Protein backbone atom coordinates (compact mmCIF):
# COMPACT_ATOMS: atom_id res chain seq x y z
CA UNK A 1 0.00 0.00 0.00
CA UNK A 2 1.42 3.44 -0.92
CA UNK A 3 2.48 5.56 1.99
CA UNK A 4 3.86 8.95 2.85
CA UNK A 5 7.53 8.74 3.78
CA UNK A 6 9.47 11.23 5.87
CA UNK A 7 13.13 11.81 6.59
CA UNK A 8 14.82 12.11 8.96
CA UNK A 9 12.91 10.18 11.58
CA UNK A 10 14.73 12.08 14.32
CA UNK A 11 16.97 15.13 14.21
CA UNK A 12 18.73 17.02 16.97
CA UNK A 13 19.79 20.55 16.14
CA UNK A 14 21.31 23.54 17.87
CA UNK A 15 19.10 26.54 18.51
CA UNK A 16 19.44 29.02 15.65
CA UNK A 17 20.33 26.41 13.06
CA UNK A 18 18.35 25.78 9.90
CA UNK A 19 16.52 22.49 9.53
CA UNK A 20 14.96 20.89 6.47
CA UNK A 21 12.45 18.11 6.92
CA UNK A 22 11.72 16.03 3.86
CA UNK A 23 8.63 14.20 2.73
CA UNK A 24 7.65 12.07 -0.23
CA UNK A 25 3.85 12.17 -0.52
CA UNK A 26 1.85 9.38 -2.11
CA UNK A 27 2.51 9.60 -5.84
CA UNK A 28 -0.94 10.49 -7.23
CA UNK A 29 -1.82 12.89 -4.44
CA UNK A 30 -2.26 16.58 -5.14
CA UNK A 31 -2.61 18.22 -1.72
CA UNK A 32 0.21 18.22 0.76
CA UNK A 33 0.30 19.27 4.41
CA UNK A 34 2.58 19.79 7.35
CA UNK A 35 1.29 19.34 10.89
CA UNK A 36 3.17 19.41 14.14
CA UNK A 37 2.64 17.88 17.55
CA UNK A 38 4.45 19.22 20.59
CA UNK A 39 4.97 16.45 23.13
CA UNK A 40 1.81 15.84 25.11
CA UNK A 41 -0.31 18.19 23.01
CA UNK A 42 -2.69 17.81 20.13
CA UNK A 43 -1.80 17.84 16.46
CA UNK A 44 -1.71 21.35 14.98
CA UNK A 45 -2.03 22.38 11.34
CA UNK A 46 0.87 24.32 9.87
CA UNK A 47 0.36 24.63 6.12
CA UNK A 48 -1.31 23.15 3.07
CA UNK A 49 0.16 23.17 -0.42
CA UNK A 50 -1.51 22.69 -3.77
CA UNK A 51 -0.50 23.37 -7.36
CA UNK A 52 2.94 24.52 -6.27
CA UNK A 53 1.76 27.16 -3.86
CA UNK A 54 0.57 27.53 -0.30
CA UNK A 55 -3.22 27.21 -0.17
CA UNK A 56 -3.64 27.79 3.56
CA UNK A 57 -1.40 28.42 6.54
CA UNK A 58 -1.94 28.75 10.26
CA UNK A 59 -0.80 31.47 12.61
CA UNK A 60 2.02 29.15 13.68
CA UNK A 61 3.48 29.20 10.17
CA UNK A 62 5.38 32.47 10.43
CA UNK A 63 8.31 33.84 8.44
CA UNK A 64 10.76 31.33 9.85
CA UNK A 65 8.91 28.52 8.11
CA UNK A 66 8.81 27.79 4.41
CA UNK A 67 7.71 24.91 2.20
CA UNK A 68 8.87 23.83 -1.18
CA UNK A 69 8.27 21.14 -3.76
CA UNK A 70 11.65 21.20 -5.48
CA UNK A 71 10.92 18.34 -7.84
CA UNK A 72 8.05 16.04 -8.74
CA UNK A 73 8.27 13.92 -5.63
CA UNK A 74 9.69 15.72 -2.60
CA UNK A 75 7.89 18.19 -0.33
CA UNK A 76 10.05 19.98 2.23
CA UNK A 77 9.54 22.05 5.35
CA UNK A 78 12.34 24.45 6.22
CA UNK A 79 12.73 26.09 9.61
CA UNK A 80 15.19 28.95 9.15
CA UNK A 81 16.38 29.64 12.67
CA UNK A 82 15.18 27.02 15.10
CA UNK A 83 13.98 27.86 18.58
CA UNK A 84 13.60 25.61 21.60
CA UNK A 85 9.83 25.73 21.20
CA UNK A 86 10.12 24.25 17.71
CA UNK A 87 10.89 20.89 19.32
CA UNK A 88 8.04 18.68 18.18
CA UNK A 89 6.99 15.83 15.95
CA UNK A 90 6.40 17.12 12.43
CA UNK A 91 3.99 15.16 10.27
CA UNK A 92 3.76 15.37 6.52
CA UNK A 93 0.45 14.33 4.98
CA UNK A 94 -1.21 14.14 1.60
CA UNK A 95 -4.58 13.58 0.01
CA UNK A 96 -5.58 12.83 -3.60
CA UNK A 97 -7.78 15.88 -3.97
CA UNK A 98 -10.98 17.55 -2.84
CA UNK A 99 -13.04 14.55 -3.91
CA UNK A 100 -11.26 12.49 -1.28
CA UNK A 101 -10.96 14.17 2.04
CA UNK A 102 -9.01 11.46 3.80
CA UNK A 103 -5.58 12.70 4.78
CA UNK A 104 -2.79 10.14 4.97
CA UNK A 105 0.06 10.84 7.36
CA UNK A 106 3.71 9.92 7.29
CA UNK A 107 5.45 8.45 10.31
CA UNK A 108 6.70 11.83 11.44
CA UNK A 109 10.04 13.55 11.97
CA UNK A 110 10.92 14.16 15.58
CA UNK A 111 12.83 17.43 15.91
CA UNK A 112 14.72 18.25 19.10
CA UNK A 113 16.18 21.73 19.42
CA UNK A 114 18.87 22.10 22.09
Q: Does 105 bind another protein (CB under 8 A)?
A: yes
* Nearer CB in complex with another protein: 13/44: 44
Q: Does 35 bind another protein (CB under 8 A)?
A: yes
Q: Which of 87, 5, 92 is nearest to 47 (CA)?
A: 92
Q: Does 110 bind another protein (CB under 8 A)?
A: yes
- The partner residues of 13 in beta bridges, in order of sequence, read 113
Q: Between residue 48 and residue 77, which ones bind another protein under the rule CB under 8 A?
A: 48, 55-56, 58
Q: Which DSSP letter does residue 41 get?
A: S
Buried b (16+ CB within 10 A) or exposed e, 10-26: ebebeeeeebebbbbbb
**Torsion on CA atoms 25, 28, 30, 33, rounded to nearest 10:** -20
Rounded to the nearest angstrom, the gap between the alpha carbon of residue 108 and the centroid of all alpha carbons in its chain is: 8
Kindly indicate which of the ranges 13-21, 61-69, 70-78, 95-103 contains the residues binding another protein, using the contact rule CB under 8 A. Answer: 95-103
Q: Does 5 bind another protein (CB under 8 A)?
A: no
* Nearer CB in complex with another protein: 79/90: 90
Site of interaction with another protein (CB under 8 A): 33, 35, 37, 42-45, 48, 55-56, 58, 89, 91, 93, 98, 101-105, 107-108, 110
Amino acid sequence: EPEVTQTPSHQVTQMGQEVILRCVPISNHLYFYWYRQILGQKVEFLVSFYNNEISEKSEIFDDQFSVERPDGSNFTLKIRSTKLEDSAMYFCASTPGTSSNTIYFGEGSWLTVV
